[in-house]
Every structure is written in C-alpha cells, then in structure tokens.
C-alpha cells in the first residue's frame, strides 16, 4: 500500500500535469480578478465623490472664497455655504484627541512590552481588542449619558462641546495607537536592549533614549492612523459635540465637524441641489485629508527605513 502511494506521489510530482497547471491558472485568475475589482471600485468611488464635489464650484457657481468662509446659511436668502467652522472643528477634535491618546497609547504599549510583558499583556491585550470591537454608536451613547452631563455639571455650559467630542474620540483611537505601538516596540531586536543594558543604562533610560527613539517612525504612524480614524468618525462625535455652527474657539461650547454636517444634512437635502452638492464637496475635503494622512504615514515609514 505504502509503496503504491509513494509511487503515485512521485509520478505526480515528476510530471506537473494539466490539473496542476489549471490550479495555478485558477489561483492567478482569482487574485487578478479581486485585485481589479478593488482597483475599479476605488477609482469609481474617487471619481464619483470628486465629480459630485467639484460641481459645487463648476456648475453651481459657489466661489471657493465663500466655501472656505465662516458663513453657513444653506437655506438663507441668498444661501451661503461657508464650511470653515466645520473644517476647523474636525481639525481641533482630531488634534486634541491625538494629544490625549498618543502618550496614553504609547505608555500602555511600553508597559505591555517592556515593563510587565507577562501579565500586562495578558490583561491589556484583550481589553484593547475589546475596545476596537465596540461600535461607535455605543461610544456616542456613553458620551451622551455620562460625559455630557458630567461636563455640564463641571463647566456649567450645555455639556455638548468640543471637549466632549475630544474625550469620546480619544478613547476610540486609543486601541489603534496602542496596538501599532506594541507591534513596533516588539519588532526592535533584542540586541538593542542588551547593548543598552551592557552600557550600564537603567531600564527607564533604555526605554526613553533607545527604544522610543528607534521606534519613533512606527509610533508616529500609529498616531497618524489614529488621527485619520478620528477625522473620519461621524456618529459618536455627532452625538456629543452639539452640532452648532460655531467656530471652535472654546473647549466647552458646542461645535460642528465635517462628518456630522454631512450625516445630519444628507438625508434632508434633495440630490442635485446646491445644498446637496456642498455636502459632497465636504466629503471631498474629507477624502483629500485622508489622502494627506496616508501620504504622511508613507513618508514617515520610508524615513524610518532609510535610517
């Protein structure tokens, strides 16, 4: 029996017959088709958003100067489509959330990989994975029922504010930053740590002067990815920031972001109107900003490799 089996294998291996060639072809075809489907979807999406987004300026005749002004009155007479408060709102929320989350995330990652790898990882890893799995509407609802009333009592304002959005978002992007930071720190070769210790450095010196510095491009990539998520997050932010068309000049005042303007208004506008096109233009800005984030990540990782 055994002999027959081996001889069969041998003949098959010696002679890659039609069947195997077909298998190769099939695999190649499958990957090729999926690749092209993705590429085509992506480009049609880009084309769709871009064509809708520019029609505000090309066909509806809204000047760029108005679009980037702070006068938002889409149903006024005459209507005005200034989006500066929302662009600023999106930026403020994103940057402030990153300012809170970056040190926390990197700190947690250092704790997990360097200080208490055994139980730190055992406890923190599942918690972080859990945070990723929670849908954003739940974050929003927690923000609405816990953070907003808390801020209202503490600050005396309405509670719906830039600060509420920042707090909710910083929890949401924490897992992104932490998990990427963990990966980066783990990829540092052991010899680096050993060399540092051999020179007489303490653990903290090793962490702050060697490990963090070597992995900086990777850590920054995590932060930028987290920011990209924060910039595009809509639902949770929309529930807690108040959606008022103010310039974000105060932490405790309600503001608005690009994403929440789009989600709030899209359903109530009629496709083809200037109002609707203006929302698409905002979507285009979001798309371009994501592109900027991606380019930033590329640039940072390449710089890391060059070293």
Partner 1 sequence: MWKKTLATIGSMVLVLSLAVGCAKGNQQGGGAAGGQLTAVGSTAMQPLVEEAANQFMSENPGTQITVQGGGSGAGLSAALNGSADIGNSDLFAEEKQKDPTKLVDHKVFVVGMAPVVNPKVGIDNLTQQQLIDIFTGKIKNWKEVGGVDQKIVLVNRPENSGTRSTFVKYALNGANEYRGKDSIVQDSSGTVRKIVAETPGAIGYLAFSYFDKSIKPVKLDGVEPTNENVYTNKWKVWAYQHMYTNKDGKNKELEEKFINFILTPAVQQNLVEKMGYIPVTKMKVERDAQGNVKEKK
Among 11, 44, 249, 273, the residue binding partner 1 under the rule CB under 8 A is: 273
Q: Pick between residue 54 and residue 235 the one whose CB is nearest to partner 1.
A: 235
Which range binds partner 1 by CB under 8 A, 46-54, 194-202, 214-222, 245-253?
A: 245-253
Beta strand ranges found along 99-191 (DSSP E): none
Told to check if 251 binds partner 1 by CB under 8 A, we report no
Answer whether 151's CB lies under 8 Å from 138's CB: no
Told to check if 243 binds partner 1 by CB under 8 A, we report yes
Told to check if 200 binds partner 1 by CB under 8 A, we report no
Which range binds partner 1 by CB under 8 A, 106-114, 211-219, 251-259, 291-299?
A: 251-259
Told to check if 78 binds partner 1 by CB under 8 A, we report no
Told to check if 149 binds partner 1 by CB under 8 A, we report yes
Answer whether 168's CB lies under 8 Å from 143's CB: yes
Told to check if 160 binds partner 1 by CB under 8 A, we report yes
Which range binds partner 1 by CB under 8 A, 30-38, 40-48, 71-79, 125-133?
A: 71-79
Told to check if 267 binds partner 1 by CB under 8 A, we report yes
> In this structure, how many other beta carbons lie within 10 angstroms of the beta carbon of residue 85?
23
Answer whether 242's CB lies under 8 Å from 254's CB: yes
Told to check if 84 binds partner 1 by CB under 8 A, we report no
Q: Pick between residue 113 and residue 238 the one whose CB is nearest to partner 1.
A: 238
* Distance in Å, CB of 10 to partner 1, minimum: 21
Q: Pick between residue 144 and residue 251 the one whose CB is nearest to partner 1.
A: 144
Backbone angles phi, psi at 242, to 5 degrees: 95, -25
Told to check if 20 binds partner 1 by CB under 8 A, we report no
Provide the CA 41 distance to its chain's centre, in angstroms: 20
Coil/strand/helix, residue 22: helix
Residues facing residue 255 across a β-bridge = 242
Told to check if 82 binds partner 1 by CB under 8 A, we report no
Buried b (16+ CB within 10 A) or exposed e, 178-190: bbbbbebbeebee
CA distances (Å), 259 to each of 26, 61, 136, 176, 284, in order?
42, 23, 14, 20, 11
Backbone angles phi, psi at 222, to 5 degrees: -60, -45
> Residues in the site for partner 1, rule: CB under 8 A?
19, 22, 73-77, 144, 149, 152, 158-160, 238-239, 242-246, 253-254, 256, 263-273, 275-276
């Amino acid at each position: 029996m055994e002999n027959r089996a081996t001889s069969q294998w041998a003949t098959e291996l010696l002679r890659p017959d039609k069947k195997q060639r077909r298998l190769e072809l099939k695999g190649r075809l499958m990957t090729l088709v999926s690749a092209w489907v993705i590429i085509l979807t992506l480009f049609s999406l880009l084309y769709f958003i871009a064509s809708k987004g520019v029609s505000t300026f090309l066909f509806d005749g809204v000047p760029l100067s108005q679009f980037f002004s702070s006068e938002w009155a889409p149903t006024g007479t005459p209507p005005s489509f200034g989006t500066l408060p929302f662009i600023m709102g999106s930026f403020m929320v994103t940057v402030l959330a990153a300012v809170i989350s970056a040190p926390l995330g990197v700190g947690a990652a250092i704790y997990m990989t360097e200080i208490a790898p055994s139980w730190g990882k055992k406890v923190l890893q599942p918690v972080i994975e859990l945070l990723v799995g929670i849908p954003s509407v739940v974050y929003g609802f927690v923000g609405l029922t816990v953070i907003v009333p808390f801020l209202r009592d503490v600050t005396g304002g309405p509670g719906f504010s830039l600060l509420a959005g920042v707090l909710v978002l910083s929890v949401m992007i924490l897992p992104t930053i932490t998990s990427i930071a963990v990966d980066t720190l783990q990829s540092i070769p052991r010899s680096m740590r050993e060399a540092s210790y051999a020179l007489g450095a303490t653990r903290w010196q090793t962490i702050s002067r060697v490990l963090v510095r070597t992995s900086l491009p990777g850590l920054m990539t995590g932060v930028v990815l987290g920011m990209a998520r924060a910039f595009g997050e809509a639902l949770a932010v929309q529930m807690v920031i108040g959606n008022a068309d103010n310039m974000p000049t105060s932490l405790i005042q309600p503001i608005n972001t690009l994403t929440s303007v789009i989600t709030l208004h899209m359903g109530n506008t009629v496709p083809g109107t200037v109002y609707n096109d203006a929302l698409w233009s905002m979507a285009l800005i979001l798309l371009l900003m994501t592109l900027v984030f991606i380019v930033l990540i590329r640039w940072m990782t390449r710089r890391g490799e060059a070293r």
